Amino acid sequence: MTKKKTKKVTTNNNQTRDGYTVVLEDIRSQFKVFGEVLGDVKEIVSGHTIRLDNVENRLDNVENDMGIVKNKLDNVENDMGIVKNKLENVENDMGIVKNKLENVENDMGIVKKELSIVRHNQITRDEFKLLETRVDRLERITKK
């Protein structure tokens, strides 16, 4: 009786072992397929990594170029401020020149009127001296 039990246990053990063997072979097969697919994924990721590195380098170049452009624009902005200030100074100087020319024009009108009086009327030497002094003063003002 004991021999019969031993054979049954051994047969059961062989069947269990055969079942485990089938399962292990299936797992090995799946791991092999998984390993092959993982290799393909590694190649794809490696390709993407190279492309991303290229994109990153290009973006770094763009960023550097943008920094250079920003600096140049800042320089242009500063130069434009300087030009604006100089133009404002020129505008102010032109206003001063305009005022002086208007004063000269008014003074010349006065001189013309006084000279016409001198031509039409006989004047005294004192009046002539006074007129001459005024003309000298006007000439000195206009030379300044």
Token pair belonging to 20: 């485990």
The per-residue pLDDT for range 118-128, each reduced to its tens digit, is 677 666 788 88
Number of domains, the chain = 1
Dihedral through CA 106, CA 107, CA 111, CA 114, nearest 10?
70
The per-residue pLDDT for range 9-30, each reduced to its tens digit, is 567 777 888 878 888 898 999 9
Token pair belonging to 141: 């003002």
**Model pLDDT, residue 72:** 96
Domain, as residue range, for 139: 2-143
**Model pLDDT, residue 69:** 96
